[in-house]
Structure 1
Amino acid sequence: MIVLRIPFISKRIEEKNIEYQNKLLEKQMQEVNNIYMTMRGWRHDYHNHLQSMKAYVEMEQYDKLNDYLDLLEQDLNHINQLVQTGNINLDAVLNSKISFAQSKKIDVEYKATCPSKLVVSDIDLCALIGNLIDNAVEACEKMNESDGKQYIRLYIGIFKKQLYISVTNSTNEVVRKMDNEYISKKRGNHGFGLKRINIVVEKYNGYINRQNEPGVFITEIMLPI
């Protein structure tokens, strides 16, 4: 009975982890949509802001003008739009993850374009991208000063009528064999992230290739459009 229950328990744990991560992604996508609507609202009010500032200048109420500018600056500080791919939910995840990586003093280079509609669901795509960047950040944070520069290179685009995703990051780890044994040894968030990536790629009959050379880890993924 114990032997029979082990696969069931493992499957249940996996389902719980996926359910939890999906809820986090749904919350993040909602936050992105809120940011997007805030940006649209600010642009809509741009003319009104200019008129208000001109009025303060004409009345020589420079203190009030300065206060007004401070308020506008606070609004803009809540919006850090680094990437515009064409997919709103993907934009939310990328802007959040890239900003986080940069706050860790990791050098991030990125280029991303994406159709607004894909075969891959937004939740699966965001889970995939989110885990890829999270794992890259984690690898960079484990490096010592003597290991060299911490960096992440991200590319998302269309290649051979498929969605091509490439993430390259610096690392101090060297892995000779990257298979299920390697993934299972990665306990915690990194191990689960690798499994989640594999699940999404397999779900859509995609392609994944991982390469590890001294000082660098590369993941390439292709998914149907």
Structure 2
Amino acid sequence: MTYFQTTTDAIIFGLEVVLSMIEILFILRLFNKVFGEARINHIKLYAAAAIAMLAITCGLRMILNPVRPAALPPITVLCSMFFLLCYPPNRQKKVLYIGILLTVSYFWILLYDLIVTPIEDKSIWLTLILCHVGFYLLLELIRKTDRGKQWSIPFHLWLLLMAITVASTAALGVMEYYISKREDPYSLTVEIPISLIFLFINLSLFVVFDKFSTLMHTERENTMLEQQVQLQHRYYKELEAAHQQVRALHHDMGNYIRSAEQLAAKQDNNNELIGFLNAASGQLKEIETVISTGNQYLDSILNIKIAEMLHEGVTVETDIHVPSGLKLSFEQAVIIVGNLMDNAREACRELQCGERWVRINLSYINHTLFIRIENSASPIQKWDNGLPVSTKNEPFFHGLGLKNVKKAVDELGTMDVESSNHSFLVRIALYDR
């Protein structure tokens, strides 16, 4: 038997090769979305996949009946498994998605076969094209519904989703067995709605996994946010207590130095001692409270954070006009002002000493507290939901500050974030309700 019986057979085989090569490119495009960018060059990856499909299609053509298509969607999905090694490690998601994708491809072939095969005088060209194009559309549907997040779900939930797709595959085998045992396999059409139901169930598993993983990630993130707030609350309480002790010591030291100056003045030849005491007194006067709004919580956090910035060589400009009776709780001051100041200081740390600056503006107008904090910063490389994403080794932990701020502000007012090549700006309006 020759490799191609007729010219038409050769042309159909060529069409089959082209369609299967396009199909694996669609699958790799889906992988880029759900598993992250491939770790090798895209052109090399796509070229290798196309060559692999060409080799597999030719090999299957030699084994199978030449009249029957050799490279159907399930074969393409199986071939694509070898290229999963080129993507970032996420074993849980890869195993589940390949399992579901295989089940979907098999149900698609069964459904297509049940609908198309009984049709008389059909065009083999058209049926072959529609079979692959229909699967392309399913792949695009899956890609559109996935958020592309590399999150995981608890093992028992993953096992449940795997059990559903395995049970679907078993049901598929049973259906194909009974169809093959009938004298006329296509005499009944009850398998068509059943196949549609199973196809829909398995397509829904992609959405279910995405929803579950998002929910689990949100819960973990909320837990981390709450833990950070608790730690910050304790940290600032301790700092406030230490700040009170420093202020008391500052007051007492001033009294001690003034008393020593008076005693030294009564004795002769104490000019050097008097000069030293005067210098010490002058230094104490310099260690005055930088900010005094009347709200002890706001004052403590601003003074502590400004002192830390000045110590790190950051130029700080302040313009603060708020009433002494400002209603701002300790928790609000910690979460909103404390985190914004920390964020500004972290951004300045990445710059040279002469380039570090922070501008702090607070005003209270018409029962609304306006907070505007701008700082020098490097350009933001990545954003997520309107907030910058940290580029540090553990971005999940380093990105909690602004998320905490946004979460607190959303309950009280509005928040706006802007970034340029050299600065980062946060504007907040808190309504006095």
User: TM-score normalised by the shorter chain: which range applies?
Assistant: 0.7 to 0.9
If asked which structure has higher relative contact order (CA below 8 Å, sep 6+), I would say: 1
Shift of 1:8: 4.4
Higher helix fraction (1 or 2): 2
Residue 69 of structure 1, CA deviation: 1.9
Question: CA offsets, 1:19-78, max 9 Å, x none?
Answer: 1121112112222333344455566x4xx7545423312211517945972895598389
Counting only pairs closer than 5 Å after superposition, residues 76-87 of structure 1 correspond to structure 2 as: 76=284, 79-87=287-295
User: Hey, which of these two has a bigger chunk of strand by percent?
Assistant: 1
Question: In 1, Cα distance between the equivalents of 2:323 and 2:398?
Answer: 28
Match of 1:90 in 2: 298
Q: Secondary structure at the match of 2:363?
A: strand
Contact 2:379 2:422 in 1 (8 A): yes
Partner of 1:149: 355
* 1:162 lines up with 2:373 in the alignment: no
Q: 1:131 to 1:178 in 2, by over 3 A?
A: same
Q: What are the superposed Cα offsets for residues 101-157 of structure 1, whole Å, 9 maximum, x if unpaired? A: 122222211122333344431232133212111111111221358xx8221111112
Equivalent of 2:421 in 196, 214, 217:
214
Q: Which residue of 1 aligns with 2:336?
A: 128
- Residue in structure 1 matched with residue 346 of structure 2 by the alignment: 138
Is the CA contact 2:387–2:402 (under 8 Å) kept in the aligned structure 1?
no
Match of 1:19 among 230, 244, 254: 230
User: Which of 245, 248, 253 is residue 34 of structure 1 equivalent to?
Assistant: 245
RMSD after superposition? 3.5
TM norm structure 2: 0.44
Residues 152 and 211 (structure 1), Cα distance of their counterparts in 2 relative to 1, 3 Å cut: same
Name structure 1 gaps, 5 residues minimum: none
Aligned length: 219
Q: 1:98 to 1:189 in 2, by over 3 A?
A: farther
Q: SS where residue 207 of structure 1 aligns? A: strand
What CA distance in whole angstroms lies between the structure 1 residues aligned with 2:430 and 2:282? 39
Instruction: Structure 2: give runs of 5+ residues left out of the alignment.
Output: 1-152, 158-211
CA distance, structure 2, for counterparts of residue 53 and residue 92 of structure 1 = 32
Q: AA paired with 2:349?
A: E
SS in 1 for 2:324: coil
Percent identity of paired positions between Structure 1 and Structure 2: 22
Q: Is the 8 A contact 1:183 1:194 kept in 2?
A: no
Equivalent position amino acid for 1:211 in 2: E
Q: In structure 2, what residue type is equivalent to 1:60?
A: D
Distance 1:102 1:75 in 2: 16
Q: Using the alignment, how far apart are the partners of 1:181 and 1:192 within structure 2?
A: 10
- State how far apart, in whole Å, the 2-side matches of 1:223 and 1:194 are: 16
Q: TM-score, normalised by structure 1?
A: 0.78
Residues 336, 408 of structure 2: 8 Å contact kept: yes
Q: Given that residues 379 and 421 in structure 2 are in contact (C-alpha distance below 8 angstroms), is that contact kept between their aligned partners in structure 1?
A: yes
> Quick check: which has more Rg, 1 or 2?
2
